[in-house]
Amino acid sequence: MVSVIAMANLFLGVIDENNFDAQQYLEKRKTYQVTIKRDIWGVPHIEGKKDSDTAFGFAVAQAEDHYPIIEDSMRFYRGVQSASSGYESVPLDYLVHLLNIRSQVDRQYDQVLSEDVKRVLNGFADGLNYWAAKNPEKVDQKTYPITAKDLVASFSLQHLLFYGIQKPITELFDEQRKHSLSMDSNETAWQLTEERPLPVGSNAFAISPSRSADGSTRILINSHQPLTGPVAWYEAHLKSDEGWHVMGGAFPGSPVITVGANEHVAWGATVNKPDLVDIYVLEINPDNENQYRLDNEWLNFEVKQAAIRVKIIGNFYWTVTQDLFYSEHGPVIKQDHGVYAIRYAGHGEIRQVEQWFDMSKSTSLASWEKAMDRLAISSFNFVAADAAGNIGFFHNSQSPIRKEGFDWKGYLPGNRSDLIWNEYLPFADLPQVVNPNSGFLLSTNQSPFHVTAPEDNVKRSDYSETFGFPTRMTNRATRGLELFSALELITADDFKKIKFDNSYSPNSRAINYLSDLFDVEYPVDSLYQQPLELLKNWDLATDVDNTAANLGVCTISEEWISEQSGQSPPAVQGEFEKCVDILLEKHGRVDVAWGETNRLIRGSVNEALNGGPDVLRAIYGRGLEDDGYLTASGGDGLFIFVSWDGQGKQSIESIHQFGSATVEESSPHYADQLPLFIDEKLKETYFDTESLQSNIKSEYVP
């Protein structure tokens, strides 16, 4: 986005210190009635009289554990990160300003959010500001006060980023146009090229009493995220006298639990990435560069201006001013190769936090679905289960109802108003499978048409191609469906073994790619002959003692990345030889045990662990080409097993990759869960009052 700077006006100035009234928030503390209980793992259990009291305590607990992450996140969501981190953050700030989220929040906040949710938001914001007021030496006071509207804006932007809005926008800043222009179906189009993303994924699966060996209902909540940073999971337990009682995972700065369970319902989320963004090529008036054609009219762009402060050194900054343009379609970006308008799902939507809150208060799968019917959350697949034995898979997305006859994967003509969509497919009409006869559901970022036994799946043919539902199959999907289908009745141990399975399916896309290598013939004395034999005998597992996994995982990794990018994978022989060369250079041999390279590192702790990319025991590492090691950076983090037995008794177990102290290295909870995580063991969550009381390590009123 260098052109953003090139077009900007620059002004030199001095940053004004923010006037944070700390005393105001110290006084506000008196209006909240809340207690924080830390269990033996340091996990916070917050108990308040009202929902807003609990939210206040939740904020304090989060600030205690990761206030620097919250501060940095707030700067990002406000579009002011450049004032702290300098020039490199200008493109991010520009994107936030272009999407105009804060104006949408300001305009709608009083009208569309319930008073209950506003009280929760205000309570959480007050809690963050109270902690900052009590700890002025620790915080960056220019970030405070944090407001309820900041929190709402953070949800709106975060949800857009999860389905990948940044990718098509970023492509517009390349030197050449990236996508074809979609014309009528009989016209010619240009070829599509895309950047390659890093591997990502999530798991959620459930079984009903009919498939369970002991009549229990079970669900795994296993969303994969980076292991550190603003979207790494944080575990908490919230309870109020107004009926808010939920435990699970939240991101730093979130006032609500987003994946987890209450007494009645549990739910997990997986990224689905349907096609929710459309780019239009605008026709510009040759006599007026600030007009575009729509049907038979020249219309004026709406023009706003963004002023972005950029830190230089100390308190000195540049102010970068940039014109922002908007058409009837949405935000506009002007480039040498064209002028483009962006239309995206979630534009103007600010009710995400209210939907998450209502989901956490649901009392059955049916009431949970009622909360989902709001369709305020732009994307994510969900798997949910309730105490009555109901299970469901839901492909949730704000899927635009688009005009037939166009290839919506390409760029669209911007001069036709009939291509500007204004409606979404209702939630009830999206792909869903509830209480399948098979008794199991599995969501692992795959097509929503392959989530259970074939006879119970929704048919792809029932939906228009214009909705852009994903069609991919991951190894986790192929392998998981095979494992579930092979078991007539599933025990508790079976259920956990499936989650911790670390193998690739021989029927997976990645292994089909790898098998093409086995037709290659090398001379007997070739450097690659013995490594090829090693790979031919690989059992497709990624356990720590496996001596073929390094070579196998390395060879197939580019296939995975290419698939996510919509590109053809590179030739497998070239990838294989490259990986042999890397292993020989870094380790002197290719038969390196997987545990020697696949490492989980936290402070001074450095441990080998099972699992790898796109296996159900999902571990995504980086660094093999740099230092010869794959340091885990994403994948399995916090995950939760929830069950209800035949009598309705609930059990909840969880594990976090590190511990509740996500920032403070001196804390005993900085890495205390890591040994259990490595050993594939779980801990109790102390969700019920009796078990919590006997496992409290500290209790205090903030």
Are 651 and 685 within 8 A, CB to CB? no
Amino acid at 167: K
Which of 124, 14, 69, 31 lies closest to 663, judged by CA?
A: 69
Please list, in sequence order, all residues whose beta carbon lies within 8 angstroms of the beta carbon of residue 147, skipping any fewer than 6 positions away: 125
Other CB atoms closer than 10 Å to residue 524's CB: what's the count? 6
Other CB atoms closer than 10 Å to residue 492's CB: what's the count? 16
Other CB atoms closer than 10 Å to residue 682's CB: what's the count? 17
In angstroms and rounded to an integer, the radius of gyration of the C-alpha atoms of the chain is 26
Residue set of the binding site for Ca(2+): 275, 277-278, 456
Amino acid at 394: F
CA 61 to each of CA 67, 74, 130, 258, 305: distance values in angstroms, whole numbers, following the listed order:
9, 17, 11, 17, 38
**CA-to-CA distance for 48 and 57, rounded, in angstroms?**
8
**CA-to-CA distance for 685 and 674, rounded, in angstroms?**
16
Residue set of the binding site: 275, 277-278, 456
Beta bridge partners of 305: 323
Angle at 480 between CA 249 and CA 384, to 5 degrees: 40
Other CB atoms closer than 10 Å to residue 2's CB: what's the count? 9
**CA-to-CA distance for 20 and 134, rounded, in angstroms?**
12
Are 397 and 345 within 8 A, CB to CB? yes
Are 656 and 675 within 8 A, CB to CB? no
- Helical (H) or strand (E) element with 367: helix 365-372
Torsion sign over Cα 402, 109, 105, 260: negative
**CA-to-CA distance for 45 and 696, rounded, in angstroms?**
9
Q: Has 202 been annotated as catalytic?
A: yes
**Which residue in the list 89, 202, 399, 660 is annotated as catalytic?**
202
**CA-to-CA distance for 623 and 356, rounded, in angstroms?**
36
**CA-to-CA distance for 520 and 213, rounded, in angstroms?**
46
User: Within 183-235, where are the H helices?
Assistant: none
**CA-to-CA distance for 307 and 323, rounded, in angstroms?**
9
CA 172 to each of CA 337, 434, 637: distance values in angstroms, whole numbers, following the listed order:
9, 40, 34
Q: What residue has token string 């209790």?
A: 699
Question: What is the C-alpha end-to-end distance of the chain, expressed in Å?
Answer: 44
Query: What values do phi and psi take at 3, rounded to 5?
Result: -65, -25
Q: What residue has token string 């669209």?
A: 412
> In this structure, what token pair is assigned to residue 489?
């009745």
**CA-to-CA distance for 306 and 100, rounded, in angstroms?**
10
Query: What values do phi and psi take at 346, rounded to 5?
Result: 95, -5
* Residue numbers annotated as active site: 202
